[in-house]
Amino acid sequence: MAPMAGRRFATSRCIDALKAFDTIYVITQGGPGSASETINIFLYLQAFAFYNVGYASAVVVVFFVIIMALAALLLWTRQRVKMT
Partner 1 sequence: MSMEAKRSPAAYRLRRLIGNIGFGFSVLVLISPAILFFLWMLSLSFKNELDNTDWPPVFIPESPTLDNYREVFARNDFLRFAWNSIVVSFGATGIALLIGVPAGYGIAKMHAMRAAALILIARITPGLSYLIPLFLLFQWLGMTGSLTPIVITHLVITVPIVVWVMISFFEGLPPELEEAALVDGATIWQAFRYVAMPLARPGITVATILSFIFSWNNFIFAMVLAGRETRTLPVAVNNMLTFEQIAWGPLSAAALLVTAPVLILTLVAQKQIVAGLTAGGVKGA
- Contacts with partner 1 by CB under 8 A lie at 8, 12-13, 15-16, 18-19, 21-22, 25-26, 40, 43-44, 47-48, 53, 56-57, 60, 63-64, 67-68, 70-71, 74-75, 78
Give least dist CB 30 to partner 1, A: 13
Omega prior to 32 cis, within 30 of 0: yes
**Residue 19 or 34 having the CB closest to partner 1:** 19
Task: Answer for the pair 41, 29: CB distance below 8 angstroms, yes or no.
Answer: yes
Give least dist CB 34 to partner 1, A: 17
d(CA 38, CA 28): 11
**Residue 37 or 78 having the CB closest to partner 1:** 78
**Residue 34 or 57 having the CB closest to partner 1:** 57
- How many other CB atoms are found less than 10 A from the CB of residue 43? 19
CA distances from 26 to 23, 45, 52 (A): 5, 13, 22
